[in-house]
Amino acid sequence: MIAFRCQLRLIITCCFLALGINLNAQQPGKQIRVIVIGAHPDDCDLDAGGTAAIFASMGHAVKFVSVTNGDAGHQTQGGEMLAKRRAEEAKEAGKRFGVEYDILDNHDGELEPVLKIRLQLIRKIREWNADIVIAPRPNDYHPDHRYTGVLVQDAAYMVGVPNIVPDCPPLKKNPVFLYTRDHFKRPNPFRADISVDITAVFDKKVHALDAHQSQFYEWLPWIGDYISEVPADATARKKWLGQRYAGAISNETRAVLEKFYGSTRAAQAKYAESFEICEYGTQPSEEMIRRLFPMLGK
């Protein structure tokens, strides 16, 4: 029997070699698993969409989670009808980014940092077996944004505690938790610890944002009092959207890009997304950051 198995393995090996497959070749690197958590359907897209698109294009696994269903974010629509519309928009955006998109059934504008929702997020992070968790800081004009940040902070340690959400296995390692960029200064300003050059995927990001028609062409322009600027033509609207959300790269971001990509690549970057390392969760070394963000320069 042993001789037969050896002979069979020899035959199989010869067949694979004939097909150009090396059984002893080094296996590809570990898949990195990223979960981005936002308050509303479209928040993840805007804050980390370019980075997510790069991860996805490299074969890594990315999930977007909206903590609310977005059922209040419109000037004329609302409730179940709006929630359904926004879920369809998010699904389409997820396809355009190449990521999974989950929406939790919590009401928009009514989010509070309560145990029920903390447990929902612990479960999502565990089920995804996340290496990286990205969420907003708990400083923001919108209470849903603030409380999403608080909820993720509150989940950061608990994802490894077996007796919390006991029917869902705890993570064996604590993820790296990151904050997305904002412009609020109190009690402390955002600090860019990691910056990703998204120039190559910026058009893809805009294409995905374009799927959120109810937000970027209707609600946000209306509440921001610039709806008269939105072009009627679909092509012109998308161009306008890209111009509106292009954003200038700050000196701080440029310096971080130079650290990770080198001066030449940093000078060429037109668009970037930056992240601050949360003091909860794993505190990554520069070596670990480069491993978890393989798109960064070597």
- Quick check: is 28 in a domain? no
- Quick check: is 100 in a domain? yes
Domain count, the chain: 1
Domain span at residue 263 reads 33-292
Q: Answer yes or no: is pLDDT of 161 > 80.
A: yes
232 Cβ contact list (under 8 Å, min separation 6): none
pLDDT of the residue at 6:
35
pLDDT of the residue at 8:
39
100 Cβ contact list (under 8 Å, min separation 6): 61, 62, 63, 64, 94
The proportion of the chain whose per-residue pLDDT surpasses 90, expressed as a percent, equals 89
Most distant CA pair in the chain, distance: 80
pLDDT in tens, 102-145: 999 999 999 999 999 999 999 999 999 999 999 999 999 999 99
Q: Answer yes or no: is pLDDT of 188 > 70.
A: yes
Contact between 230 and 86 under an 8 Å Cβ cutoff? The reply is no
pLDDT in tens, 51-106: 999 999 999 999 999 999 999 999 999 999 999 999 999 999 999 999 999 999 99
pLDDT of the residue at 297:
72
The number of residues making up the chain comes to 298
Helix (H) or strand (E) segment spanning residue 265: helix 263-268
Lowest mean pLDDT across 10-24, 36-50, 182-196, 272-286? 10-24
Give me the sign of the Cα torsion angle 36, 39, 45, 49: negative
Structure tokens at 290: 């480069």
Q: What is the CATH number of the domain that holds 61?
A: 3.40.50.10320
pLDDT of the residue at 298:
67
pLDDT of the residue at 29:
74
Q: Kindly report the backbone phi and psi dihedral angles of residue 32, in degrees, each rounded to the nearest multiple of 5, phi listed first.
A: -90, 135
- Quick check: is 155 in a domain? yes
List the beta strands (DSSP E) in 10-54: 33-38
What is the CB-side half-sphere exposure of residue 251 using CA atoms within 13 A?
0
